[in-house]
Chains A and B, each alone.
Chain A
Amino acid sequence: MLVILAGCQVQLVLAPYTPTAIELSYSQDEDLTRVRWSVSDSTSVTFERAQGNGWVTVDFSAAPYASGEYDCGARRCFQLVVRGRVTPPPGGVVIRANHSSLGLFPGQPAKQTSPSSTVKLELSLDDGNAQVEGELDDWISVATLQRQFGYEFYAGPDCSSPPDSDQPATLTPGTQKLPFALATDAGLYCGRVRPVALDHGKRASFTASFGAVPDVFRQELDYRPPTETAPIAWHFVSDLQIADAGRCDQVATMVHDFFAGAFAAAGSVHEFSRVDLAPGCVQDPGRSLDGAMLADEVKSWLADNSSNQYQRPILVYVNNLDAPLPQSLLDSLSVYQASFPDAHMVPLDIALATGQALTSFPWDLQLQFAAVEDPQLKQSIQAAVMASLPLETELHHDDDLIPLMTPDTVAAEKGHPWKLCQASPAIQRFNGPFPVDDADLTPLIEPVTPPQFTVMLPQQILVPASSFAPDDVVIRWEICRRWCDHAYHDESGALHPDWLTTPVCVKSTAP
């Protein structure tokens, strides 16, 4: 028989069936002991617990609360909940494993701990007071071993007298939303949870108080000041010097048509009767136009045909001669300009001329005269007109009082406070004609002095359409109906103690 030579290579290692990391936690709140341990391998293993001077087989199904095996990574973890306080025997071994073939494996000594918290309950209502957001932290629940809790809500603020029954549904640890139907004038409530005991034994109660969030709703106003487009009302004044009579008529007609076409493309057009300062294209050194009469004609027509607040009649002066304008003509042009003293009606004087004719009078728009056959002449006229016309005006004054709410809202929400949530650009609040002090965060709605506002906007009067940018004022506010002095969460989730004294609005997705 051969001699067995091996043996010295065997080392002793902690058995995979040996319970380790044994933890004993006792809660006085519930008079429960939570025993947790783990093994590397639970195959063919049962567990026994020290009890008195002996050992009893661990029966997870007989435990009052969630007990059994749970997933904890590579090891196999177990929890046993026992009523009362479990104290370790003198040897310190509370749990041992019993392997079907290898026998008993005593667990390592247990570590006794006290849970930092047992059952922690936090309740709060959502923005609509229709759901309770419950945050339940449970010292027994772990991984798949979850305790079920019965719950009930009741009127506060005194939480010491909960009802006997629970809601039919149960809740589990974690965050959850529960339906809520209570509504009291005080808006103060209590919530009570009790774990569901599998052995139908004694169970502890845990309560938390919570309040209704302010009953608010939001409204929004997108205010865009009205605008108007000035009509294109124009005079054509011809002052040409051309020896050839046939050519004279041709040039005058073509230039006129260039302007007429460009104006027609820019918008609504009215042309007054044409003025010819040089009949037969022969300029008289003493020529002039009747500026007062032309201005009256313009005013009269605009008064009859346009409701615009702001007007800009156009005078187109055409001269092909590089020579200073005679004093008589300059004087008459000045009379024409002076005939419009009102800032709401400012003439637009356009000159198509050359040389000294352009520089001898302060024209609003100067265009270089060229041969009518030159295609650039027509193009330059079209480009100048398109860049300058039509003219837009935003009808807004910074001291205009603009209603914030509809009359129906004002009537329906009489006496309720309202709060400005957002205004872009900033506004000044008014109650009727009276400005609201900035320190007054939540003025009341009164139909006799309804909420209004003023807003400062950049002036845009007779601005070419190509550079006109209408303003847009966005205002959001909320009106509180009940529980306005209660705490609430804002858009960022921050908690505020009192809606009435806090400038920010309630967390809301609407609008």
Chain B
Amino acid sequence: MRALVVLMLLSSVAGAEDLRPETRIQRRFVEKKKKFAVYAGFAYHGRADYYYTPGIDIAVSYFPLESLSIDVRGDCFFSVPTPELKELASRTGYLPDSRPSRAAVQAGVRWSFGYAKLRLTSTRTLHFEPQLFAYLGIHITEGSSLQVAPLADVGIGFLVYATKRVQARIDAGLTIGGEQRTQYVAVVGGLPVLSVGVMF
């Protein structure tokens, strides 16, 4: 008898949980519309030009819409020759005609095409937005003299919210720009950026 009572109590508790809704509509974790954000982080400009090109990235974003921001960003690169380049030079006295990257200044837009969150622990949830971005600007290269050429950068990124004010951006960009080498050529490269920002 006691066992039957316990079973009935358990079944009544299970029936109460079934009454909860399967889907909830929540307010966004952070609202960005008409706010600014400043980002700083690390970049790497890979162009298969016989140079390692790490750099720092600084960007300012303004969100006229919740899902759209206007960005101005600048990159300062610290190119160093690859071991292959040094090997080539020391054996032949020849160098590739590519020019090491020195800096880039660009302006563009970013569009958040989604919003998601990921439960990390029982108490921690990660909020993030996948984004598409497109930038246009200039690319400055070194050589016997500094040279300025156009540069475009398109790609996909993730805006990840650490807190309501602190964000991280992870970008994977594809660049295409001009460069005066032996001839004037178009150069395609990759520009991944990892930066941290503050919104206000």
Closest to A19 in B: B93
B91: chain A residues within 8 A (beta carbon): 106
| Partner pick for A5 among B88, B96, B155, B188, CB 8 A cutoff | B188
Contact (A105, B90) CB under 8 Å given A11-B96, A13-B97:
yes
Contact, CB under 8 Å: A15 / B94? yes
Closest to A12 in B: B94
CA A13 – CA B174 in complex, angstroms?
A: 27
A9: chain B residues within 8 A (beta carbon): 98, 181, 185-187
Closest to A107 in B: B93
B182 on the interface (CB 8 Å rule)? yes
B41 on the interface (CB 8 Å rule)? no
Contact (A15, B185) CB under 8 Å given A1-B192, A6-B49, A104-B90:
no
B173 on the interface (CB 8 Å rule)? yes
CA A15 – CA B86 in complex, angstroms?
A: 11
CA A88 – CA B188 in complex, angstroms?
A: 44
B188: chain A residues within 8 A (beta carbon): 4-6
Contact (A10, B50) CB under 8 Å given A1-B190, A5-B188, A18-B94:
yes
CA A107 – CA B97 in complex, angstroms?
A: 18
A161 on the interface (CB 8 Å rule)? no
B81 on the interface (CB 8 Å rule)? yes
Contact, CB under 8 Å: A14 / B93? yes
Contact (A108, B93) CB under 8 Å given A6-B49, A6-B189, A102-B85:
yes
| Partner pick for A4 among B90, B95, B144, B189, CB 8 A cutoff | B189
A10: chain B residues within 8 A (beta carbon): 48-50, 96-98, 181
CA A423 – CA B46 in complex, angstroms?
A: 90
A16 on the interface (CB 8 Å rule)? yes
Contact, CB under 8 Å: B173 / A2? yes
Q: In angstroms, how far is the closest chain B Cβ from the Cβ of A78?
A: 16
Contact (A101, B187) CB under 8 Å given A2-B173, A4-B48, A10-B96:
no
CA A9 – CA B49 in complex, angstroms?
A: 9
B49: chain A residues within 8 A (beta carbon): 6-7, 10
Q: In angstroms, how far is the closest chain B Cβ from the Cβ of A111?
A: 16
4 new A-B pairs (CB below 8 Å) besides A4-B189, A10-B48, A14-B94? A2-B155, A2-B172, A7-B48, A16-B95
**Cross-chain pairs A/B with CB under 8 angstroms, 26 sampled:** A1-B172, A1-B190, A1-B192, A2-B192, A4-B47, A4-B188, A5-B48, A5-B188, A6-B48, A6-B187, A6-B188, A11-B97, A11-B181, A13-B94, A13-B95, A14-B93, A16-B95, A16-B144, A18-B94, A102-B85, A102-B86, A102-B89, A103-B81, A104-B89, A105-B90, A107-B93
Residues in B lying within 8 Å of A, measured CB to CB? 46-50, 80-81, 85-86, 88-98, 144, 155, 172-174, 181-182, 185-190, 192
